[in-house]
A = this chain, B = another copy of it.
Amino acid sequence: MSSLALAVSRRNRRTPYTDRIETLGVQGYSIVNHTLLPKAFGRTVEEEYWHLRSSVQLWDVSCQRQVEVRGPEAARLVQMMTPRDLGGVVVGQCIYAPLIDDKAGLINDPVILKRAEDWYWLSIADSDVLLWTKGLALGLGIDVAVTEPDVSPLAVQGPRAEDLVAAVFGDAVRNLAYFRFSLFDFLDRQLVVARSGYSKQGGFEIYLDDSSLGTELWDMLWSAGQGLDVTPGCPNLIERIEGGLLSYGNEMTRSNNPLEINLDRFCTLGGQIDYIGR
């Protein structure tokens, strides 16, 4: 990994999994949403690629912060923020949706989780979508609460991910369809588990909503994965580019509109929906 030295400060937030990541020999980080994103564990990008395609990896993606939009007009506000038609989205569904500004410049490209008719999570890339959403809601006088809940996603990616997640959360996770989520028991609570993630090798994202349980969640998955060749990992450059997954802040920024970066299939241009930047 080509790297610089990163000064330690509260500005670069640790995650509920950082202690374990360090024990397992993390060798570098990026900073996403003011949060540490592990980037290297001592193997080459190519070695990590082949492992991801054959086994299973745990990724600390706590940096994918949730922006929660909740209240009577939540659906209206979230629809205004994206050119993708959210009309048919049902509770329990994830949907990838570019967010654009009034000039159609890309602000972020979250996966949106519809938790209830009046309750959305935006699982974001690297920009402060919370501020954008709060600014719009306040300015428009829309009746919603916009907050950043204590949610730290942990991704389980690779062809053996289903066996691993089933070992901890039960065989019912095997019935989850792609880009669907449901609640599954964990200790004395229930966690959102989605069949999703930033690879094309299959897998899940676990939305831990109590950061004090990070070590326990990591350890249970790690222990269950010992027969499955589990390793710590991170979004893989080769794999994601091969799979056509763009990275906000790298391949695309606010100076791009969704059409020029091949996101037109996620836009509903000829429809009736009302959105900013139309």
Chain A window 137-156, contacts with chain B (Cβ cutoff 8 Å), 1 for yes, 0 for no:
11111000000000000000
Closest CB of chain B to A9's CB: distance in Å?
6
**Partner of A5 from B5, B32, B132, B247 at Cβ < 8 Å:** B5
In the complex, which of the residues A12, A128, A247 has the most CB atoms of chain B within 10 Å of its own CB atom? A128
Please name the residue on chain B nearest to A237 by beta carbon.
B9
Q: State the CA gap A28–B47 with chains docked (Å).
A: 28
**Partner of A139 from B4, B30, B136 at Cβ < 8 Å:** B136
* Contact in complex: B11, A7 (CB < 8 Å): no
**Partner of A136 from B6, B31, B101, B135 at Cβ < 8 Å:** B135
A261 CB–B CB distance under 8 Å: no
Q: Which residues does chain B contribute within 8 Å of A188, judged by CB atoms? A: none
* Contact in complex: A10, B131 (CB < 8 Å): no
Interface residue range, chain A: 35 or more
Q: Which residues does chain B contribute within 8 Å of A5, judged by CB atoms? A: 1, 3-6, 27-29, 40
Q: Which residues does chain B contribute within 8 Å of A39, judged by CB atoms? A: 7
Q: State the CA gap A9–B125 with chains docked (Å).
A: 15
Q: Which residues does chain B contribute within 8 Å of A27, judged by CB atoms? A: 5
**Partner of A30 from B7, B40, B128 at Cβ < 8 Å:** B7
Q: Which residues does chain B contribute within 8 Å of A131, judged by CB atoms? A: 107, 127-129, 131-132, 135
The interface of chain A, by Cβ under 8 A from chain B, is 1-12, 27-32, 34, 36, 39-40, 101-102, 107, 126-129, 131-141, 247, 249-250, 276
